[in-house]
Structure 1
Amino acid sequence: MASSTAHHFTVSSADLTLHGDHWPAATDAHGLTPALLLHGGGQTRHSWDRTAAALAARGRDVYTLDLRGHGDSSWAPDGDYALDAFVGDLRAVLADRARKPVIIGASLGGITGLCTVGENPDIAAALVMVDVVVNVEQKGIDRIKSFMTDHIGGFADLEEVADAIAAYNPERTRPKNLDGLKKNVRLHDDGRWYWHWDPEFMKSDEGDEPRRHTDPARLAAAARTVTAPTLVVRGGKSDVVSDAGIAHMRELVPHAEIADVSAAGHMVAGDDNEVFAAAIVEFLERHSL
């Protein structure tokens, strides 16, 4: 399996321990820039396994990380899942890196990367944002929120997990072997399976999930100061990123490049990993990274 080639690592951030995987470069490709992959809200580092393996096979060191409250990383004892907390964690991770990496972030990981790179111009070699922009579409965000909160009470079995995923993304092939779902859910003592993230992540005093994890004004200000090569990968069937959202990003980051993965929805890497990985590789090669 692809994950057998990855080596586990941990990083401390404040009073949390963040867990990740290092995928060593399979070949000596003359010192290609390492890549750090950040997943979206409600996911884990394992959502990047195929992409990480593909990039490592091309000679690049790749790191995947469980964000706070997700996967194997610590849950925030104070329930702090605001944007500033994620940015602080990312800065802690980057401080431990010998070389500036390319940051590749999906959704929550993408806005965390954008804010961090914009506010710390020399911290990364490049930025790739996967199906996320500063001005996202509320309809798409609401659908994600429903997908995540409708099953806070858990699932009776893995079949129910697969059913929920199929209902959210009906165009993706339903897996015959459900063992892979165990990377994103955990079996609790009550015999039910639960998403592998802290339920506090979805709580908000304002009832507005996007504002809890993002700060549009702060993100826009950060975007205006991004100087690193930037790529926005958009899912052609996404209901989160619109033409207007892309146009706004072009205003904020004039040098940003756009790549469309026409067959993909919001979960771009999972929907069409081959085309997605090819878009990333082409961008990195063009910038000699």
Structure 2
Amino acid sequence: MHVWTGANSVRIAGDVWGAESAPLVVLLHGGGQTRHSWRGTGQELAGHGYRVVAFDARGHGDSAWAADADYSQDAFVRDLACVVDALGDPHPAIIGASLGGNTGLAAVGEGALDASALVLVDVVPKTTRTGFERIQAFMKQKPEGFASLDEVADAVAQYRADGKRPRHNAGLAKNVRKSASGRYFWHWDPQFLATREADLALRHARLSRAARRLRAPTLLVRGASSDVVTDEGVAEFLDLCPHAEYVNIEAAGHMVAGDDNDVFGHATAAFLERHLANARRAS
């Protein structure tokens, strides 16, 4: 595990794959997830010749909880800029899912980062209230904690589009924390949810402006059964960002990278190869 300093000295924890001299790809997970959701993608992209970094957002996983409970969009953007600055590559490719996609879109579209490429995973400016509320309900369940990892696996299966349980409880354990009482809690700060409603009210206008300003090669990946991103939301984004490429993964829902990791990984690697091949070969 690597550690960097984010905005306001928040401790940011992450993993790194690949050679230090290779072009940088930064992976940003969704709300309530941790960097471990990117392990398969990180390994695959490193195998294609990239230096890949996945870090826990503030308040998630092994990163610190914000003492001032600042989980605003701006705070996540500032953390990303801090980590990229520490890594020493001013032109990273950014791959962000859900919350991480919001962060990547805002950071690149508003000029906080000069990205070499941007991949948005089931996130566009216009998302559905239904999908947002289902995510909120999933994250708010069991405030008293889970009795076992099997209970956690059941909860994840109920949320996933395909209804499948995670294959290994050992991997699932990285997304929860075990209390002194022996019960399992999600591995994120409960205060994180307090900002979500306010951000939703403002995000469409802000992220629409950011999308219009995108100049970097951009790929939108949607899970076909997602209840967060609709065909209408996709069409609006492609109108805002006409140069963007689009992939619709039939077997996936909102948790695209986890629902069909192989298809997602191959699509992303092919996109980066088309746009970053010269930089990768030069490394």
Secondary structure, in 3 states, of the residue corresponding to 2:276? coil
Is the Cα–Cα contact under 8 Å of residues 141 and 210 in structure 1 kept in the other structure? no
Is the Cα–Cα contact under 8 Å of residues 6 and 78 in structure 2 kept in the other structure? no
Question: 2:193 — aligned with what?
Answer: 202
**CA shift digits 1:90-138 (9 cap, x unpaired):** 1111222322110000000001000000111752111100000000111
Question: 1:117 — aligned with what?
Answer: 108
* Percent of aligned positions that are identical: 51
Question: 2:70 — aligned with what?
Answer: 80
Displacement after TM superposition at 1:223 (Å): 1.4
Structure 2 gap segments, 5+ residues each: 278-283
CA distance in 1, matches of 2:273, 2:217: 12
Is the Cα–Cα contact under 8 Å of residues 152 and 199 in structure 1 kept in the other structure? no
CA separation of 1:90 and 1:255: change in aligned 2, threshold 3 A: same
Question: 2:265 — aligned with what?
Answer: 277
**Residue of 11, 23, 26 corresponding to 1:17:** 11
CA distance in 1, matches of 2:162, 2:229: 18
Is the Cα–Cα contact under 8 Å of residues 32 and 139 in structure 2 kept in the other structure? yes
Displacement after TM superposition at 1:197 (Å): 0.1
Name the amino acid aligned to 2:137: S
- What RMSD in Å do the two structures reach over aligned CA positions? 1.9
**Residue of 208, 212, 224 corresponding to 2:212:** 224
**Residue of 240, 247, 256 corresponding to 2:228:** 240
Name the amino acid aligned to 1:186: R
Question: 1:181 — aligned with what?
Answer: 172
Is the Cα–Cα contact under 8 Å of residues 107 and 131 in structure 1 kept in the other structure? yes
Name the amino acid aligned to 2:275: H
Return the TM-score normalized by structure 1.
0.90
Question: 1:3 — aligned with what?
Answer: none
Return the TM-score normalized by structure 2.
0.92
Secondary structure, in 3 states, of the residue corresponding to 2:268? helix
Query: Where do 4+ consecutive residues of structure 1 move more than 4 Å?
Result: none
**CA shift digits 1:222-243 (9 cap, x unpaired):** 1111110100001011111111
Are 1:65 and 2:61 matched, yes or no?
A: no
Secondary structure, in 3 states, of the residue corresponding to 1:215? helix
CA separation of 1:288 and 1:91: change in aligned 2, threshold 3 A: closer
CA distance in 1, matches of 2:161, 2:128: 20
Displacement after TM superposition at 1:151 (Å): 2.1
CA distance in 1, matches of 2:209, 2:258: 30
Q: Which protein has the bigger helix share?
A: 2
Residues 35-114 of structure 1 mapped to structure 2, 5 A cutoff: 35-99=25-89, 100-114=91-105
Displacement after TM superposition at 1:73 (Å): 0.5
CA separation of 1:201 and 1:121: change in aligned 2, threshold 3 A: closer
CA separation of 1:210 and 1:262: change in aligned 2, threshold 3 A: farther
Name the amino acid aligned to 2:40: R
Name the amino acid aligned to 2:71: Y
**CA shift digits 1:195-236 (9 cap, x unpaired):** 0000000124xx836527x62222111111111010000101
Question: 1:8 — aligned with what?
Answer: 2
Displacement after TM superposition at 1:34 (Å): 1.7
CA distance in 2, matches of 1:286, 1:177: 34
Question: 2:184 — aligned with what?
Answer: 193
Which 10-residue stretch deviates more, 173-182 or 47-56?
Answer: 173-182
Question: 2:147 — aligned with what?
Answer: 156
**CA shift digits 1:148-202 (9 cap, x unpaired):** 0012221111111011111112625324641211100010112210000000001
Is the Cα–Cα contact under 8 Å of residues 121 and 228 in structure 1 kept in the other structure? no
CA distance in 1, matches of 2:225, 2:235: 17
